[in-house]
Amino acid sequence: MVYIINNYNGSQLVGVNDKTVNNTATSLRLPGRDYKPYGEVVVENLVWMLQHFNGATPPLNPTQGQVWYDSSNQELKVWNGGSWINTGKTITGTQFPPVAQVGQLFYNLSKKQLFVYDNTATWKLLSPMGASDLSDPVPGAEISFTDTQVFKVTDENGTDHSIIRMSVQGNVIAVWSGESFITNSGAIPGFTPTVIRAGLNMEPGFVLQGETAISTVADNSVRLGGVLAASWMRLDQSNTPLNSNVNMGSLGSPFKDIYAVNFYGVASTATLAGNSSQLGGQLPAYYLNASNVSTGTLNVARLPYTPVNKTGDTMTGALTLNADPSAALHAATKQYVDNLVFSYGRLQTTYPTNNYFDVYPPVGKVMSNLIAFIPSIAYIYFDGNVDNNDTLTCDFAVLSDRVRVTILNSEQRLPPSAHFLAIWK
């Protein structure tokens, strides 16, 4: 009797005779009725399926949908009826796989680039744009997308150059290059110019745009409006780069405003400033016409200023000084006086140990801030007769970190004391 083995979809796979085993219909061994020993065959089939036919070479007689673990590449593959297809892992290698499915990823080891197999049956580059082996352009390069692509371009001398081409909605707008060269027409698909300069090259009809305040500053422009930079007159120069035979403006179209530190010319032939906006730094309304002088209506404020030394006078308003005093004879401002710090008090000596006491700078001040110091006697305690051989002393000395006040008399019986006033700036 023949066993009929069917596929999962119901179609017949093979018929197996009694007491035989089929080794060619699938990668498994299919035993017939009463085949001995069938137990070994069945168990090995289960082990092979458990291992997904783990091995360096693919299993023989594969069936569509069968899974195989490629141990040499450590990849899981499935038989699609015609070839083994990778599943769940990016394919790697130096050559593009001859068979692939849509969405399959491939990492090219020589180019160091990642590709995807799209629905046009083409490997399309994902990243990075430039191949490490300088084999640009990449397969399937197109200009119908908004993208940036790298191309290898040959110049008129046969030398290769790498450029970056930028496209927006199918329109090539610019090319970046690290070198200057001349290529043939059409060498860069979608880009018209053949003279490529180092830097950014724009397709005719496209220009750099931007608001005035934030637009790109061309610090090293060779041309402005198509004219060489050396042909333009700079506004930050102290003189005009023109020779003596060139007139500025004309009678029909004179310059509206011209500025210079000094204008020079012969007095009898110099141009009249018929519409001067200022004279001597003053607006025209500041001056009076000479005919008005005879009428006696000349405003005092419009007379020439002559400094006058005064021995004394009375002010009817407040005087505002320019700054705090910095020299001995400068007047002091209220601000300066308000900022002074006063320290004062009465201190007693430790007589008979010492006949002095010390005054230290207040917090935030040092001895260089001291501008005045006045001591005066507070109490003197005599011992004996007050006669013509008695001496009183009240003096001070400015030391590096303090003021020392000495107070004593020649016949004292108790420690004397003194008042002091110190002014700190």
The pLDDT tens digits of the residues spanning 65-94 come to 999 999 988 888 899 989 888 777 678 888
CA torsion angle for 170, 175, 176, 179 (degrees, to 10)? 150
Classify 154 in phi/psi space as left (phi over 0), alpha (psi -120 to 50) or beta.
beta
Q: What are the residues whose beta carbons fall under 8 Å from the beta carbon of 106, sequence distance 6 or more?
A: 90, 91, 92, 93, 96, 97, 100, 114, 115, 116, 117, 123
φ, ψ dihedrals at 198, nearest 5°: -60, 125
Specify the pLDDT at position 415. 92
Provide mean pLDDT across the span 231-250. Answer: 62
Specify the pLDDT at position 233. 72
Round to whole Å and give the CA distance between 239 and 261.
9
**Is residue 211 scored above 80 in pLDDT?**
no
User: Could you tell me the pLDDT band of residue 370, with boundaries at 50, 70 and 90?
Assistant: very high
**Is residue 181 scored above 90 in pLDDT?**
yes
User: Could you tell me the pLDDT band of residue 247, with boundaries at 50, 70 and 90?
Assistant: low
Domain ranges for the chain, please list them. 3-51, 143-203, 338-424
Q: Give the CATH number of domain 338-424.
A: 2.60.40
**Is residue 192 scored above 80 in pLDDT?**
yes
Specify the pLDDT at position 244. 53
Specify the pLDDT at position 302. 57
Which residue shows structure tokens 């599943």?
87
pTM for the full predicted model? 0.34
